[in-house]
Homo-oligomer: A and B are copies of this chain.
Amino acid sequence: MLKYQQIATEIEKYIEDNKLQQGNKLPVLETLMAQFAASKSTITKALDLLEKKGVVYQVRGSGIFVRRHKRKGYISLLSNQGFKKELEGFHITSEVIELDVRKPTEEAAYNLNMNVEDDVYYVKRVQYMNKKTLCLEESFYNKSIITYLNNEIVSDSIFKYINEGLGLKVGFSDMFLQVNKINEEEAKYLGLETGAPGLYIETIYHLTNGQSFDFSKLTYNYEQSQFFIQANSHFL
């Protein structure tokens, strides 16, 4: 593990252990430099990482402060990539409905940047959170990248397998979000009425090298869907 990642992890642990709250001040840079025997840039890099993750915010001329304005029961929409939910104290299980190798739909092929003649793994699952239906998921995996899947893997965490089993690194993802009335099939699997509200999210996942390997379409049960997102303003 890299030095700056290690430092970031330890600072995060320090915040956790000392139960620091929103606005609490961390030690000054010089102290951190001494404590971790690292140069200023390395400490800064660790703090930048924590800032991206929404753990701290830095105020020039003033200090480094803890940021944790979370609410209970809300799932992080962004760290929602596969298996992180477990870590936030949500118990997620999956029921596999379909799993096979097939040709992709036009839509899936387009989003995965592959040909319609190439193979994909198709997975359809219902996910449960704390025993309630959370979402219906339909995923297409580029078979030339995700070379093998089976029922056992798919019942557990697919992303964990991609990371640890296949040794692939997920780099970034593009999410597209809409709200709609759910159709009959979605209603059936989610245990709701046809026409009920549904949060509909399509995501394209890419490896660190930019290749897209997964196109997923999820319909969330609106009764269970509470998400939070932490945004930074590099936008302005």
Q: Give the B-binding residues of A (Cβ under 8 A).
A: 23, 41, 49, 52-54, 57, 59, 62, 65, 67, 69-71, 74, 77-79, 81, 84, 163, 169-181, 196-199, 204, 206, 208-210, 220, 222, 225-236
| A62 pairs with B209, CB closer than 8 A | yes
18 additional A-B residue pairs with CB within 8 Å, beyond A53-B235, A174-B230, A199-B199: A52-B52, A57-B210, A59-B208, A59-B210, A77-B229, A81-B231, A81-B233, A171-B232, A176-B227, A176-B228, A177-B227, A177-B229, A178-B222, A178-B227, A179-B179, A179-B222, A181-B197, A197-B198
**What are the residues of chain B within 8 A of A176 when measuring CB–CB?**
71, 74, 226-228
Distance of A92 from chain B, by nearest CB (Å): 16
How many copies of this chain sit in the oligomeric assembly?
2
B197–A222 touching, CB < 8 Å: yes
Q: Measured between C-beta atoms, what is the minimum distance from A94 to chain B in Å?
A: 19
Contact B81 A171 (CB under 8 A): no
A–B Cβ pairs within 8 angstroms, 26 of them:
A23-B210, A49-B234, A53-B234, A54-B172, A59-B209, A67-B210, A69-B174, A69-B204, A77-B177, A78-B231, A81-B231, A84-B235, A84-B236, A169-B236, A170-B236, A172-B232, A174-B228, A175-B231, A176-B226, A177-B228, A178-B226, A179-B179, A179-B225, A180-B197, A197-B197, A229-B229
